[in-house]
């Protein structure tokens, strides 16, 4: 669907039903738009129609769980996504523990299958600017290998970021995933791109999550990504999580398994440094 809206202000006015009185560009893709009632909304320019659709569907799916808070989606089309702006404050220990509890409840809300897209979301979606295919499978180790590890290994080999010999390291990890994955768990409702930049500490003491790559997956993947890229008061987040829903025995030893997905995505997007980090992680996993 082609968008007839040619500016962020026009998109904001269209999807909120209110006149726009000002714009402030934050980046080439993101603009704050002030409405005539004084509220401010965020207008994001999408790379294509699937990107806006996937992000909107993901936010709505996370919101439907009634757990972790997300910005309200006002609307989207092929070019634009309009959401509420989050008024941010300072990270705090109490908010972190609450976030952990809410994240555990979000995961427990579940998904239809591993790889299931949010209702209304496309199968061919994105994580950041990288493609991410949401196709389902009944078994997490086989699904994770086929749709969250090996596709990015192939992309990295194709662009010269990984050599074929290095790719074989990840293939060996995938062969061993049935023994490395730990106890079987039901599909969790994942944010899917849960690095610190997508965790907004609200001025009201509640965390909001933005920019999801939402899908049905393993709950430890979200937690591993939080640990990979850092999160304020992470120990309190994990304490809150485990008080709500205990993690399976041995989960700390599986962090590297789950970090392969975001590391390989970053290798595809940003190059050799992340490829080397992914290789180091994969080799450590194989030594277990």
What are the tokens at 256? 């590297």
Here the tokens at position 242 are 């485990």
As a whole number of angstroms, the distance between CA 128 and CA 138 comes to 26
Radius of gyration of the chain (CA): 19
DSSP assignment letter at 145: I
Locate 148 and state its tokens.
């969250």
The answer to whether 9 touches 20, Cβ cutoff 8 Å, is yes
Q: Is there a catalytic annotation at residue 175?
A: no
Q: Which of 36, 37, 124, 193 is catalytic?
A: 193
d(CA 252, CA 202): 29
Query: Which residues fall within 8 angstroms of residue 38, CB to CB, at 6 or more apart?
Result: none
Are the CB atoms for 201 and 95 separated by under 8 Å? yes
Q: Which of 249, 250, 111 is nearest to 186 (CA)?
A: 111
The residue among 224, 25, 215, 2 whose CA lies nearest residue 115 is 215
Q: What distance in Å separates the CA atoms of residue 240 and residue 96, rounded to the nearest whole number?
A: 8
Could you please report the per-residue DSSP string of 174-207? HHHHHHHS-S--PPEEE-S---GGGEEEBTTS-E
Positions annotated as catalytic residues are 193
């Amino acid at each position: 669907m082609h968008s007839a809206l040619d500016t962020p202000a026009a998109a904001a006015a269209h999807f909120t039903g209110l006149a726009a009185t000002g714009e402030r560009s934050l980046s080439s893709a993101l603009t704050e738009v002030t409405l005539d009632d004084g509220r401010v909304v965020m207008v994001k320019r999408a790379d294509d129609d699937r990107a806006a659709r996937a992000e909107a569907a993901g936010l709505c799916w996370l919101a439907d769980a009634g757990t972790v808070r997300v910005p309200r989606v006002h609307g989207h089309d092929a070019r634009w996504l309009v959401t509420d702006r989050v008024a941010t404050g300072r990270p705090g220990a109490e908010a972190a523990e609450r976030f952990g509890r809410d994240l555990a409840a979000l995961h427990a809300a579940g998904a239809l299958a591993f790889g299931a897209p949010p209702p209304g979301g496309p199968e061919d979606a994105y994580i950041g600017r990288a493609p991410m295919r949401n196709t389902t499978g009944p078994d997490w180790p086989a699904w994770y290998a086929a749709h969250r590890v090996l596709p990015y290994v192939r992309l990295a080999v194709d662009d010269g970021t990984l050599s074929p010999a290095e790719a074989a390291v990840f293939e060996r990890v995938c062969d061993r995933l049935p023994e490395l994955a730990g106890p079987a768990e039901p599909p969790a409702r994942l944010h899917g791109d849960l690095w610190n930049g997508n965790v907004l500490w609200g001025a009201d003491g509640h965390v909001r999550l933005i920019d999801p790559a939402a899908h049905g997956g393993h709950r430890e993947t979200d937690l591993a990504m939080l640990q990979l890229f850092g999160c304020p008061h992470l120990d309190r987040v994990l304490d809150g999580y485990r008080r709500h829903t205990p993690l399976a025995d041995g989960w700390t030893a599986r962090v590297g398994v789950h970090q392969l997905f975001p590391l390989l995505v970053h290798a595809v997007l940003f190059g050799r440094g992340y490829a080397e980090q992914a290789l180091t992680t994969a080799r450590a996993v194989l030594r277990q």
